[in-house]
Amino acid sequence: MLIGYARVSTDDQHLDLQRDALTQAGCGRIFEDRVSCAQAEREGLANLITSFRPGDTVVIWRLDSLGRSLKNLLQLVEQLDGLCVGLRSLQESIDTT
């Protein structure tokens, strides 16, 4: 299953572009956060992680919507790999599946 994750960091930013792209990519479900990536607690991301099943793929608009830093992004990718979950970034054309 393709599962989307979208995030904006300020109230004046909108999720519409990300939502549309994730829907077009075939995501059956989309989790969202409206919080700075610098904050460790992101409810949408936490809910996303608990919803995985082996074989799922997380789809994101851009890598910076997922990780707080390169180190954090790599940790998340390793966590996904350990759960047999792929990652696809639409803007960077990255697909770990």
- 4 token code pair: 């989307």
What is the value of pTM for the model shown? 0.89
Q: Give tens-digit pLDDT for 24-62.
A: 999 999 999 987 656 567 899 999 999 999 999 999 999
**Class of domain 2-95 (CATH, top level):** alpha beta
Q: How confident is the model at residue 14 (pLDDT cuts 50, 70, 90)?
A: confident
Q: How many residues does the chain have?
A: 97
Which residues participate in catalysis according to the annotation?
A: 9
Q: Give tens-digit pLDDT for 76-95.
A: 999 999 999 999 999 999 99
pLDDT at 50: 92
Q: Please, are residues 4 and 59 in contact by the beta-carbon 8 Å criterion?
A: yes
pLDDT at 41: 79
